Chains A and B, each alone.
Chain A
């Protein structure tokens, strides 16, 4: 090439900038794209007011901590699913990972004789085993989806069934009790008067917001989910990014499972069963697109928060437990309709 065309400029000013200075840059106070993240905030405020009217307990700190703690474990699944959805994929198997990861750890560490445990490893191994199982499941998912190019929906649906079956198999359908102390610590400890699981949940969400919004890795997820060819053209190593995101998602699910295990001091064979529906609902209500490339971690957080606040209000209002499930479904549908109305665009 001629020299004249390769020399980079230091300031980027062309010889004769035709546009006057003030016309070049326009800075709207708040870009519209940012507002979308806060679409659910008004709804959350409305629910808080309604809750307070229904029962004055609602806004007391004990109740608020209760809400945050009950949602802390499943919210990590929402975080995990958000990462995967933004990258244009789905991971249904998260709910089974949520149960199996701590389940395997309990199986290996719980002393033999008191239940289905084998007692092969000392109690301190509980957490490392849980996390390792999470990573392993994520790697298997990635192997099928990224390496072999299988359909992600069906692969993870198959994994959901297989993993649930494995947990039922190793536990004999029973519940693991007498867990080592290391496994129950994070789910039951209090840090500064607030359950540790809430801190962990908030920290991971904060980390998620930073990663997705402020790192090249996070932005490459949006690029891949939005237009994978354009992402490749921009030099993003799409396969590697997908491996990382699928493994991270399973790891987050394992951490969520660990927190629930700690809170309940047990691992039931059905831990996490059916949670994936709530997870998807929360993500979509929070503005994450099922087609990829769209949505934020903060939005997903408001989605799951809204769902759990509504449930809490219903409980405080004295709705019979038998009706909660039907209402839950109705709430999800209503929340979808509301976010469709406030979002203005169809949820694809």
Chain B
């Protein structure tokens, strides 16, 4: 049999016992600082990954995890600090092959080409060639099958990669990474799109690979997974390294505390007055389900009440909120807005029923960037702009001016394209549009994502003001500040409502509930 480069390297003999060894660390980053303009993504951060261990990297959004990953995989150079692999300095950024031999990352976003076969994806641009210089498919397939067999991935290499499920695709990507010779694999939230059974299969696979000498850096939002699979955990918060400790020595409560920090828990917030029992119900959701995305959700919101939907990515909170707003149709269950039942999945009918909606991502769904503020704010209420389908520019501008004042949008006038506004002011335009139709029910998804502190306070204050005027509000978010003003918060985990917290909860409780951790355990 011919010898081939890039085939599965022989793993070191399986070793007994724990991760602690005298070998130099597989990868080491020291004193890393990385800035993007004004924001500091990493501030003197460090991490040390020892051979054979499964090392967890945790932190809330914006803690600097993804920046560290891109520095560890050689996609970016740090402004300060040094990265070392096995004791020697990292290769130059342009030397992709050298990086690929040292470290590989399986990103959440797949780098598989769906139309090509699994085998070809594994050996893209390094196909075997026969004597004529043509691609030798037979030997390519054999080599790919051998590679997958070596790492016990049971996938037919001649299938188009697009037919694979998320789980198999991840295994293929891991196998491809290993075929370059890397024995240090970064898994960036590998479990986000997997169900429970697939997650336990992934963990079995990871354990088997560790016995063959593979080292993992494991990034996950789900803390119980870290307790299951990792030996060491490093916590980042606000661009800094907070702690590194053996998982076994770190109770869950302390881990959560390290992630949230002490300061956040101290902030006081006036508890909102309770909503009277006789207030009319503006949203009545019964048994709402959409396959695995969210299941059997019951939710009642009264006029003047603010209800939070908390949960991490993949918990189903966004999809549930979108279903309430009419953006997607649930498969089962009923949804009643202020006494009427809009057709499921119909945005116009939901609007007519009195739903105002601030979508998840203002760039994607919220705004038409090149249209003016006036056009954007009045997008939902064409009937108020003139008769018989004609739009009166004067009426539109008047309406827009009213909203600009109401929401304190900083702009020279309503005719400015929204692309010229800052993030906070853009978000205010989205909010203005949601309010333009005087909604009975306001649905907001991560309403303060990517806005500055002042705008954030203003937007949240506005939400409270709207609620006081008798509108029911639903906020789907994983930002604690968004959830703090809610009368109560439903916490979702893997598509189910797992907890309901009344106002006045502690940050630790909320984070633990979102991460699916039982603090008393």
Q: Interface residues, chain A, CB within 8 Å of chain B? A: 1-2, 4-19, 23-28, 31, 33, 210, 213-216, 219-220, 222-223, 225-227, 229-231, 233-236, 293-294
Residues of A near B181 (CB, < 8 A) are 5-6, 8
Residues of A near B189 (CB, < 8 A) are none
Whole-angstrom distance between the alpha carbons of A213 and B97 in the complex? 26
Residues of B in contact, count (CB < 8 Å): 60
Residues of B near A6 (CB, < 8 A) are 9, 101, 181
Q: List 28 A-B contacts (CB under 8 A).
A: A1-B183, A2-B12, A2-B24, A5-B183, A8-B5, A8-B7, A11-B1, A11-B146, A12-B8, A12-B147, A13-B150, A14-B8, A15-B10, A15-B212, A17-B149, A19-B149, A24-B146, A31-B158, A214-B137, A215-B133, A216-B127, A219-B116, A223-B124, A227-B114, A231-B113, A234-B126, A235-B96, A236-B124
> Are A18 and B152 in contact, with the CB atoms below 8 A?
yes
Residues of A near B264 (CB, < 8 A) are none
Which B residues between 84 and 113 are near A, CB-CB below 8 angstroms?
85-86, 96-97, 101-102, 111-113
Residues of B near A235 (CB, < 8 A) are 96-97, 125-126
Residues of A near B148 (CB, < 8 A) are 24
Report the minimum CB–CB distance from A16 to chain B (whole Å): 7
Residues of A near B134 (CB, < 8 A) are 210, 214-215
Report the minimum CB–CB distance from B51 to chain A (whole Å): 7
Whole-angstrom distance between the alpha carbons of A14 and B214 in the complex? 13
Q: How many A-B residue pairs have CB under 8 A?
A: 144
Whole-angstrom distance between the alpha carbons of A220 and B125 in the complex? 7
Residues of A near B124 (CB, < 8 A) are 219, 223, 230-231, 234, 236
Whole-angstrom distance between the alpha carbons of A49 and B246 in the complex? 75
Interface assignment of B364: CB less than 8 Å from any CB of chain A:
no
Interface assignment of B135: CB less than 8 Å from any CB of chain A:
yes
> Are A234 and B125 in contact, with the CB atoms below 8 A?
yes
Q: Which of B6, B13, B51, B116 contacts A15 (CB 8 A)?
A: B13
Given contacts A223-B113, A223-B124, contact A19 B152 (CB under 8 A): yes
Interface assignment of B262: CB less than 8 Å from any CB of chain A:
no
Majority secondary structure, A binding face: loop
> Are A216 and B102 in contact, with the CB atoms below 8 A?
no
Given contacts A6-B181, A231-B124, A234-B125, contact A219 B135 (CB under 8 A): yes
> Are A12 and B213 in contact, with the CB atoms below 8 A?
no
> Are B150 and A222 in contact, with the CB atoms below 8 A?
no
- Nearest B residue to A230 by beta-carbon distance? B111
Whole-angstrom distance between the alpha carbons of A78 and B237 in the complex? 57
Q: Which 3 A-B pairs have the closest CB atoms?
A: A226-B113, A9-B10, A24-B149
Report the minimum CB–CB distance from A300 to chain B (whole Å): 15
Proximity string of chain B (133-147) to chain A, C-beta cutoff 8 Å, 1 when within and 0 when not: 111010000110111
> Are B7 and A214 in contact, with the CB atoms below 8 A?
no
> Are A229 and B111 in contact, with the CB atoms below 8 A?
yes
Residues of B near A210 (CB, < 8 A) are 134
Whole-angstrom distance between the alpha carbons of A220 and B51 in the complex? 36
Whole-angstrom distance between the alpha carbons of A220 and B135 in the complex? 12
> Are A19 and B127 in contact, with the CB atoms below 8 A?
no
- Nearest B residue to A291 by beta-carbon distance? B115
Whole-angstrom distance between the alpha carbons of A222 and B146 in the complex? 24
- Nearest B residue to A25 by beta-carbon distance? B145
> Are A10 and B125 in contact, with the CB atoms below 8 A?
no
Residues of B near A236 (CB, < 8 A) are 124-125
Given contacts A14-B212, A226-B113, contact A1 B1 (CB under 8 A): no
Given contacts A219-B135, A223-B125, contact A1 B101 (CB under 8 A): yes
Residues of B near A233 (CB, < 8 A) are 111
Given contacts A28-B156, A215-B135, contact A15 B120 (CB under 8 A): no
Report the minimum CB–CB distance from B88 to chain A (whole Å): 8
Report the minimum CB–CB distance from A225 to chain B (whole Å): 8
Whole-angstrom distance between the alpha carbons of A16 and B152 in the complex? 10
Proximity string of chain B (22-66) to chain A, C-beta cutoff 8 Å, 1 when within and 0 when not: 011010000000000000000000000001000000000000000
- Nearest B residue to A233 by beta-carbon distance? B111
Residues of A near B96 (CB, < 8 A) are 235
Residues of B near A4 (CB, < 8 A) are 12, 213
Whole-angstrom distance between the alpha carbons of A93 and B133 in the complex? 33
> Are A230 and B113 in contact, with the CB atoms below 8 A?
yes
Interface assignment of B437: CB less than 8 Å from any CB of chain A:
no
> Are A9 and B113 in contact, with the CB atoms below 8 A?
no
> Are B112 and A222 in contact, with the CB atoms below 8 A?
no
Interface assignment of B154: CB less than 8 Å from any CB of chain A:
yes
Whole-angstrom distance between the alpha carbons of A12 and B1 in the complex? 11
> Are A294 and B115 in contact, with the CB atoms below 8 A?
yes
- Nearest A residue to B135 by beta-carbon distance? A214
Q: Which of B24, B113, B156 contacts A293 (CB 8 A)?
A: B113
Residues of B near A18 (CB, < 8 A) are 152, 208
Report the minimum CB–CB distance from B354 to chain A (whole Å): 37
> Are A9 and B7 in contact, with the CB atoms below 8 A?
yes
Residues of A near B203 (CB, < 8 A) are none
Residues of A near B137 (CB, < 8 A) are 214
> Are B9 and A9 in contact, with the CB atoms below 8 A?
yes
Residues of A near B112 (CB, < 8 A) are 227, 230
- Nearest A residue to B142 by beta-carbon distance? A25
> Are B159 and A216 in contact, with the CB atoms below 8 A?
no
Interface assignment of B277: CB less than 8 Å from any CB of chain A:
no
Whole-angstrom distance between the alpha carbons of A235 and B24 in the complex? 30
Interface assignment of B343: CB less than 8 Å from any CB of chain A:
no
Whole-angstrom distance between the alpha carbons of A24 and B148 in the complex? 8
- Nearest A residue to B179 by beta-carbon distance? A12
